Amino acid sequence: MPLMRKDNQLLVITHLSQLLDVITGFGGFIVPLILWITNKEKIYSMDIHGKSVINFQISMFLYALLAVPLIFVFGLGLLLLIGIGLLCLILPIINAVKASNGEEPNYLFSIDFIK
């Protein structure tokens, strides 16, 4: 196993790259996935942070899919979609700050698909 180096800046970029969905409409899943796959054995803690980001992205996508039919039930789906949007905007920033301080990521409502 090669020697791992510590690179908090790349961990921060991995978390913030999720915001590409907000800026460009795409890339918020692919870019962190590529960063995680290519650096998980090179960067210390990248495997933990990368899995957290990917699990969060998959979870939010599934929650959004579930929210769409709920739009017809008293508009509950709209409230859920707004909440998901806020989580997708706020949590990557919070976890990027945590990563810069060397802390573990914590994404609320994230399901562990990848362990």
Per-residue confidence (pLDDT) for residue 1, from 0 to 100? 54
Whether the per-residue pLDDT at 2 is higher than 70: the answer is no
Q: How big is the chain, counted in residues?
A: 115
Is the model's pLDDT at 114 over the cut of 60? yes
pTM (two decimals): 0.93
- Beta-carbon contacts of 99 under 8 Å, excluding residues fewer than 6 positions away, are 8, 11, 12, 14, 15, 45, 49, 105
pLDDT at 88: 95
Domain residue extents for the chain? 8-100
| DSSP assignments along 10-62, one per residue | HHHHHHHGGGHHHHTSS-TTHHHHHHHHHHTTTBTTHHHHHHHHHHHHHHHHH
Task: Indicate if the pLDDT at residue 4 is higher than 90.
Answer: no
Beta bridge partners of 43: 5
Segment (H or E) for 84: helix 76-100
pLDDT in tens, 22-64: 889 889 999 999 999 999 999 999 999 999 999 999 999 999 9
